[in-house]
Amino acid sequence: MSRRTPLSKNQAGEDEEMGLDEAVSEDGHPVQLERRRHDRHKFHIPVRFMFGDRSEDIFGELRNISAGGIALTTKVHAKIGASLVLYIDELGQFEGRVVRVFDGGFAVELTSSERKQKRTDKILDWYASGKKGALDDERRHPRAPASQTAQLRRPNGIMVPCQVVDISMSGIGLEMDNPPNVGEIVQIGQTRGIVVRRFGRSIGIEFVGPDFNPEQ
């Protein structure tokens, strides 16, 4: 069973050592990186990743994360500049490159689009608040409670039964078994949407247009 601790903004000490303010070049000299633009949060949960030149999954533990970077611990050695894909339960999939190696792990600079960075910031702040309603104040349209069943279509075409919790002009809240991950494009009826948050059996979906590309 995974162990998740409450998220908190970065503090001095262990998390500062694992940050992205300073990387190490191939010759071992420190390289100053751009100052952080995103709040960093503690998030102790298993992470699965794969380097670009490998085909097998590798496992580690997430230590802290922001919309711009990740620090994790693992027994596997990483090289500076190596590209990788990471999958974090409840947060989704990320891509990036190794910018720092430390004893027992490494730090990754994420190569997310600006849109995805903003979405990740919201999701992390939502978790950090410790309550499911953290994003309510930012909703563009008020949500009305609802109680009816529906069918959600996954990207592979599988239809999954779900319960509608609330709905608005811009999104919908659902409860279901084995909910999709954050960032997944789904369909409710004739309407497409993207999963923007997930908590247990509950997910929040933001409606998108037919030409929506999550990486733009």
- 122 in a domain, yes or no? no
Percent of the chain with pLDDT over 90: 29
Task: Write out pLDDT tens, residues 120-133.
Answer: 887 777 666 654 44
Residue 44 has pLDDT above 50, yes or no: yes
- The CATH number covering residue 110 comes to 2.40.10.220
Mean local confidence (pLDDT), 136-140: 44
**The predicted structure's pLDDT at residue 212:** 66
Q: What is the DSSP letter of 62?
A: E
**What is residue 148's predicted lDDT score, i.e. its pLDDT?**
87
Tell me which of 68 and 5 has the higher pLDDT: 68
pLDDT of residue 104: 94
Which run of H or of E encompasses 125?
Answer: helix 114-129
4 pLDDT above the threshold of 60: no
Q: What is the pLDDT of residue 103?
A: 92
Top pLDDT among 185 and 139 is at 185
Q: For residue 146, what pLDDT is reported?
A: 66
The total of structural domains in the chain comes to 2
Residue 91 and residue 18 in one domain? yes
Examine the domain organization and report whether 40 and 84 are in the same domain. yes
Question: Does residue 156 belong to any structural domain of this protein?
Answer: yes
**Does residue 131 belong to any structural domain of this protein?**
no
| Span 53-72, average pLDDT | 86
Looking at the structure, tell me whether residues 101 and 143 fall in a common domain. no
Same domain, residue pair 27 and 98: yes
What whole-number distance in Å separates Cα of residue 118 and Cα of residue 68? 10
Mean pLDDT computed over every residue of the chain: 76
Tell me the residue range of the domain where 186 lies. Answer: 139-208
Structure tokens given for 174? 């659902």
| Chain center to CA of 150 | 26
Higher pLDDT, 142 or 90: 90
Model confidence at 209: pLDDT above 80: no
What's the average model confidence in pLDDT over 58-84? Answer: 92
pLDDT at 116 over 70: yes
DSSP label at residue 14: H
pLDDT of 74: 95
Closest CA to 135 of 144, 122, 145, 124: 122
The answer to the question of residue 123 being in a domain is no
Do the Cβ atoms of 51 and 95 come closer than 8 Å?
no
pLDDT given for residue 79 in this prediction: 93
Distances (CA, A) of 195 to 8, 50, 64, 146: 23, 23, 22, 18
> Does residue 9 form part of some domain?
no
Q: Does residue 78 lie in a domain region?
A: yes
Residue 213 in any domain: the answer is no
Mark whether 108 and 143 lie in a shared domain. no
pLDDT tens string 142-176: 556 667 899 999 999 999 999 998 888 888 989 99
